[in-house]
């Protein structure tokens, strides 16, 4: 089994605010992230696909096709967007990296050609990232 | 299940030397790392916790709480320290980055109760890294 990873970068802004909390609670729980004007990150997304190399091409999948899927499913949704206002998939959810990763998984699941979506890693900053393997599977 | 990883930095020195080996054996096994005066590294520590995002906050862990705990339990202890002098962490064990990684994992696993600590990864240099998930830990 080969694990193949493709990386993309997008820039987006967000803020954390739970309407069920009081303004004071929001500021206490979310700190600077509660600033309603939002703040931004250069997100880095790594998408890992598991599969066997095709005997004819030697490739697990067509990278060009994967790149197009990531462009369509992720970049168009998130790049240069204010996530709270422009990404409806996250309506009602706090747009943390945890929740963004889960949404990206659902956007990609079943659409990766030639292999199985194994896991995604989303960097919010170089020092903070989340890994998601889908569903409830530990791995 | 989400695995969230935070990276931290600290600098420390150590000398790889085992009292169970002769001087010649120490030299042969540890090479430059056996230099009597010790040597140092800029360590990068990755701490991974796992859990489900809290529906109210969207977060697996309160990062400020994790930062505070790692700061107090790990960074204050090891930053700018000579690891060989830390008898509580190493006893008669050689303070290799393997053993340091295991010690940090146990400190965090035992003391940080908010969410499980799944993994500790420690970069000794940009070319060497070590990872520990506990004895029961699985690799992806």
B137: in domain: no
Catalytic residue flag (residue A65): no
pLDDT the model gives residue A115: 81
Summarize the confidence of residues A112-136 as an average pLDDT: 92
Task: Name residues whose C-beta falls within 8 Å of residue B13's C-beta, 6 or more positions apart in sequence.
Answer: B38, B39, B40, B41, B81, B82, B83
pLDDT band for position B137 (cuts 50, 70, 90): confident
pLDDT the model gives residue A139: 40
> For chain A, what is the mean pLDDT?
94
- Contact predicate B27/B67, CB 8 Å: no
From B6's Cα to the closest Cα of chain A, the distance in A is 5
Q: Does the pLDDT value for residue A124 go beyond 80?
A: yes
CB contact under 8 A, A131 and B64: no
pLDDT tens profile B6-20: 999 999 999 999 999
DSSP B127: S
pLDDT tens profile B97-111: 999 999 999 999 999
Question: Residue A71 and residue A65: Cα distance in Å, rounded?
Answer: 10
pLDDT the model gives residue B96: 96
Q: Give strand ranges (E) for A31-126.
A: 39-51, 81-82, 116-125
pLDDT tens profile B66-98: 999 999 999 999 999 999 999 999 999 999 999
Instruction: Inform me whether the C-beta atom of residue B58 falls under 8 Å from chain A C-beta atoms.
Output: yes
pLDDT the model gives residue A9: 98
What is the chain A residue with the closest CA to B53?
A: A98
From B50's Cα to the closest Cα of chain A, the distance in A is 9
Summarize the confidence of residues A74-81 as an average pLDDT: 98
pLDDT the model gives residue B138: 67
pLDDT band for position A137 (cuts 50, 70, 90): very low
Q: Does the pLDDT value for residue B62 go beyond 90?
A: yes
- Contact predicate A120/A131, CB 8 Å: yes
Which residue among A80, A86, A98, A109 is the active-site one?
A80
The shortest CB-CB distance from B4 to any of A98, A102, A136 is to A98
pLDDT the model gives residue A113: 83
Question: Residue B107 and residue B100: Cα distance in Å, rounded?
Answer: 10
* Residue for token pair 């962490």: B89
Cβ-Cβ contacts under 8 Å, B75 against chain A: none
Task: Name residues whose C-beta falls within 8 Å of residue B31's C-beta, 6 or more positions apart in sequence.
Answer: none
Residue of A1, A19, A98, A139 to mutate for B, most B C-beta atoms under 10 A = A98
What is the chain A residue with the closest CA to B65?
A: A29
The shortest CB-CB distance from B53 to any of A96, A133, A137 is to A96
> For chain B, what is the mean pLDDT?
95
Summarize the confidence of residues A4-9 as an average pLDDT: 96
Residue of B7, B47, B48, B59 to mutate for A, most A C-beta atoms under 10 A = B59
What is the tally of structural domains in chain B? 1
CA–CA distances in Å: residue B92 to residues A14, A62, B85, B99: 50, 53, 11, 11
The residue range of the domain holding B43 is: 2-132
- Contact predicate B90/B96, CB 8 Å: no
What is the chain B residue with the closest CA to A90?
A: B58
pLDDT tens profile A87-113: 999 999 999 999 999 999 999 999 998
Summarize the confidence of residues B37-43 as an average pLDDT: 96
CB contact under 8 A, A101 and B2: yes
Is the CATH code 3.30.479.10 the one for domain A2-132? yes
CB contact under 8 A, B2 and A137: no
Question: What percentage of residues in chain B have a pLDDT greater than 70?
Answer: 98
Instruction: Inform me whether the C-beta atom of residue B59 falls under 8 Å from chain A C-beta atoms.
Output: yes
CA–CA distances in Å: residue B122 to residues A3, A68, A73, B46: 23, 35, 34, 6
For chain A, the domains span 2-132
Q: Does the pLDDT value for residue A135 go beyond 90?
A: no
pLDDT, greater one: A32 or A135: A32
pLDDT the model gives residue B17: 96
What is the chain B residue with the closest CA to A50?
A: B140
What CATH number has the domain bearing residue B56? Answer: 3.30.479.10
Task: Name residues whose C-beta falls within 8 Å of residue B41's C-beta, 6 or more positions apart in sequence.
Answer: B11, B12, B13, B14, B97, B124, B125
């Amino acid at each position: 089994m080969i694990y193949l990873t493709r990386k993309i970068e997008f820039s987006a802004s967000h803020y954390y605010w739970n309407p069920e909390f009081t303004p004071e609670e929001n500021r206490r729980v979310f700190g600077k992230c509660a600033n309603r004007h939002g703040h931004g990150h250069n997100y880095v997304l790594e998408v890992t696909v598991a599969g066997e190399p095709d005997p004819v091409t030697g490739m697990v999948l067509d990278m060009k096709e994967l790149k197009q899927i990531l462009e369509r499913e992720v970049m168009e949704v998130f790049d240069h967007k204010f996530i709270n206002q422009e990404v409806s998939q996250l309506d009602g959810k706090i747009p943390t990296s945890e929740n963004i990763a889960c949404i990206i998984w659902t956007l990609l699941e079943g659409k990766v050609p030639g292999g199985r979506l194994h896991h995604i890693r989303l960097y919010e900053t170089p020092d903070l990232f989340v890994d998601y393997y889908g569903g409830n599977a530990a791995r | 299940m989400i695995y969230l990883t935070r990276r931290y930095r600290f600098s420390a020195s150590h000398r790889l030397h085992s009292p169970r080996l002769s001087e010649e054996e120490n030299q042969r096994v540890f090479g430059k790392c056996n230099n009597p005066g010790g040597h140092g590294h800029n360590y990068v520590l990755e701490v991974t916790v796992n859990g489900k995002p809290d529906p109210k906050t969207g977060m697996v862990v309160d990062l400020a709480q994790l930062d505070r705990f790692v700061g107090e339990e790990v960074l204050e202890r090891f930053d700018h320290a000579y690891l060989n002098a830390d008898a509580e962490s190493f006893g008669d064990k050689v303070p290799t980055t393997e053993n340091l990684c295991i010690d940090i994992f146990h400190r965090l696993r035992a003391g940080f109760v908010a969410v499980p600590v799944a993994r500790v990864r420690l970069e000794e240099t940009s070319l060497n890294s070590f990872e520990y998930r506990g004895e029961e830990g699985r690799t992806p």
